[in-house]
Amino acid sequence: MSNYFLQGQTVASAWGSSRVYTLQDSGFPIEFVIPREGAPALMATANVVKNAPNAELAQKFVNFILSEEVQKEFAHSLFDGPVNKNVKLDGDIAKKVVYGEEQVKKLIKVDWEYVNQKRAEWTERANKEIEVTR
């Protein structure tokens, strides 16, 4: 999506805030706007696969990325809101990322079971009704 904006082929799009702020941080004139209806909650996750080798090391890695220090760094460098409730953010970064109970409560929780049931139907409809240029 970044390339479409940079090349002037896109002027508006549904896109994640972290990607918008990363592009904005590079000096590109772009803004992130939350629709009046709200924004869906999208999360990057880290998962330990059952019965995978090095399970103990994998758990240590997950705990490391959930630490206050790393979560704060993710906020500042990736514009990802912290999931560790002990992380303290201030200034511009606290305004750019989803941060605190009040903002989390505003997020729309996606019913992925329903979305996945409808995915093929919606994809077919979108392909017929929306013109996508590449």
Query: Is pTM, for the whole model, over 0.85?
Result: no
**Residue 8 pLDDT:** 87
Torsion angle of the four alpha carbons 20, 23, 29, 33, in this order, in degrees rounded to the nearest 10: 10
Q: Please give the distance of CA 58 from its chain centroid, rounded to a whole number.
A: 23
Rounded Cα gap, residues 69 and 50, in angstroms:
27
pLDDT in tens, 90-124: 999 999 999 988 888 889 999 999 999 999 999 99
Rounded Cα gap, residues 5 and 23, in angstroms:
9
**Residue 133 pLDDT:** 60
